[in-house]
Structure formats: C-alpha cells, structure tokens
Amino acid sequence: MISFLADEKDSVGRILTQVKSGKVGVEHIRSLVGAMEREKAAMGLFITLEAPTKDMLKEALSAGTYRSDYWEQEHLRVQILTIEDLLNGKTFQMPPRRRAFQEAPRAKPRGETRSLGSDFNPPVSMKDAGQGQKMTSL
C-alpha cells in the first residue's frame, strides 16, 4: 500500500500494489481492480516479470482515470510496469507520495536540570566499573 496526499486537508489516498512473476493474465488485473474497490483505493499498480498481454492492457485502461483536483493531475487508475521497465528507470505516474517519516517536534524542557556534581568521576576501565575483569585485546 502506498499513501499520497489527496487534498489540502491532509486526507490520505491509497494505492494498492500487486507483484506477480510467471504467467500473468487479464484475471490478475480484474483481481486488482476488485481489491481496489473493496479497499477503496484510488489507484492500483501492477508489477510483473513478464510483458502484459493486450487483454491486460485493455482491462487496465477500462478502469479509467484518477483525477486529483488538488494536484491538478490525472492518472490512469491501473498501471502496469514490468521489472525490466523499472530497471530501465520507468516509474508509475501518481500523485506526490506522503512522507513516510515526519520530523518530531523538539522536546520542550520541563522543570530544572540537575548536574551530577563536581565529585562525579566516571570509571576509567571495565575493572573500575565493577565488572571484575580487565578488558584484553585479541
């Protein structure tokens, strides 16, 4: 599942992905379209090792387009790319993706910060730390 920003209110659109190797056929595209409807996904991406058949391409086109008024873009709802396409730099056409990780806000200091004091002396070796044995090199 890939997420993208669907509008200015930060609502999220979803894109289903399906990856198949070996013999693929129009039934795989129909299955993807059915899953898109069931999961209420805006788009579907189909990745295959083998070249798609004419019927697969026709079925993908029959799924129509997804129009994003917010991004002022229109994309095919179902797109098919082969592994070879991806290795050659082709990409799926879709709205800009939502960032996977967002920067957390900086923590605000709470209360006072205490120091360890001037008499704090950290251990210098593992033996001093109470581990009982000196560290040796191999």
> What is the widest separation between alpha-carbon atoms in the chain?
80
User: Which of residues 118 and 67 earns the better pLDDT score?
Assistant: 67
SS3 4: strand
| Domain range annotation of the chain | 2-87
Question: In this structure, are residues 24 and 52 in contact, taking their beta carbons and an 8 Å threshold?
Answer: yes
User: Which of residues 6 and 62 earns the better pLDDT score?
Assistant: 62
pTM of the model: 0.66
Which residues, at least 6 apart from 73, have a Cβ–Cβ distance to it below 8 Å? 67, 95
pLDDT, one tens digit per residue, over 80-125 is 999 999 999 999 998 887 565 566 777 777 777 666 666 666 666 6
